[in-house]
Every structure is written in structure tokens, then in C-alpha cells.
Homo-oligomer: A and B are copies of this chain.
């Protein structure tokens, strides 16, 4: 077993993947296996993989890679024991030429010898640290999805991969926003510090009421919207490039790994 996985077995995170594999979990993973890194999944043909990896490297805030498979190999041992990306997520989306063609609960029938799986960090990891510090996260309080917005900030281009940065928004009072900036700065591997706060129009967002993805949330008196780079960015960029073939996780149905969120903190 890989020593990056830390001491001992990880029965909690493994149980989530086993439930997925058995077809007993097909929905969101948000509250499952607290403490363990969850990741966005993006699977591409080898032909596009190198350029996509370049894209992620050039845009580390929205696209922090936490793991990559070998070509054609659906197992990523450095992320988890017996972790098989074909079966161990609750639900997938299969895309052909940028069009959604299927939403299966496994991709055994879609797997190919030329595919490469990328696992990209997710804000769940830093939200756990925010909550541990006593900060209140509005979309969690409202039991809805985090609001996400396309910005006018262009990502750096790599081959066919180009497009605007997508951001998540969480409202905070200024003093809590300062604390949230400090805390998320400790997590450069999962989006890190915010990229903006305050006036949404400064980053090309017309209205906060109509997010491009997710749900709108209430902004209370004295709060300012705070914006973080979002792992939906690489997915949006992949689909905009209309690749011949791609597979992603279904929204909210993430890959639960055996690695711990605390491992991502730099101090």
C-alpha cells in the first residue's frame, strides 16, 4: 500500500467507494467520509491528456490536480486502496463531441485502453477547515449547492483547452472573510485563497441571483461576496473544446479518496 495514504486502512472512505461499486450509492457525496479528500473527475483520451495536464498546470487555482491515472489503467493507488475510477464514484456523465450522451452509475462499458483519468481538488476540503474554525457557510446552511459563476477572467490556454475561470461564491462579513482568506490560503492544492471579493461586476458577473451553475444563496446585511476559483472550470473548458470523447463525475457525485484534507494544508 502506498505510503502517501497514511497509516492503517481507511474503512470510512473505502466504504463509500464500495457502496458506489455495489450500486448502493448514486447521489451526492457532500457529507460522506468527513476528513477525506474528495475530487472532481475528468477522463480524456490520451491524445488530449498531455494538453489537458498542461492546462491544469498553467491554471493551478481552478484546476489543482490531486491525482492522474496511467494510460488505460483505471486504478489510482496513490489516491486510495483498490480505487477504480470506473466504478467507485456514485454517478458519471459521458460526453461525445461535447454532448451529454449518458449518466451511468459505472463506466465499465465505456472504459478504453487510451483513457487517462484526472482527479482535481474540490472546495469540500477547505470548507471543512472553514467550518472547523466556526465560520458559517451559507449554501451549507441553506442545504443547497454552492453558487458558481463564469467570470471574465481568461484561463491560460493549452492546445484546445481555453475558456473563462468559473468561481464559487460564499458570502461573509468582512472579519469572517479575512479569516476565510487566511484559512483557505493554507490550501493551495484546493483552490487556495479567494481570487476576488466585493463587487461582482469587477470579474464580469452581472448578477449574483442567477448563478451559471448551482443555486443562488442569501447575502445578509453587512456581508460581502467572496469568490474562489472552482473545479468546474476544467470541466467547462473540456466540454467547450468539444472533445470526441470525455467522461466526468455527475455534479456533486465526487470521488472519495483515502487521503486526508489536512494533508493538503501547508501549515
Contact = CB atoms under 8 A, between A and B. Distances in A.
Interface of A: 174-175, 177-178, 181-182, 185, 193-199, 202, 222, 224, 267
A222 B196 CA distance: 11
Contact of A181 (B178, B222, B224): B178
Contacts of A185: 182, 185
A193 to B, nearest CB: 5
Contact of A174 (B178, B182, B202, B267): B202
Contacts of A224: 198
A111 B178 CA distance: 43
Contact of A182 (B177, B182, B199): B182
B182 A196 contact: no
B222 A202 contact: yes
A177 B195 CA distance: 10
A196 B224 CA distance: 12
A193 B198 contact: no
A196 B177 CA distance: 9
A182 to B, nearest CB: 5
Contacts of A182: 181-182, 185, 193
A177 B182 CA distance: 12
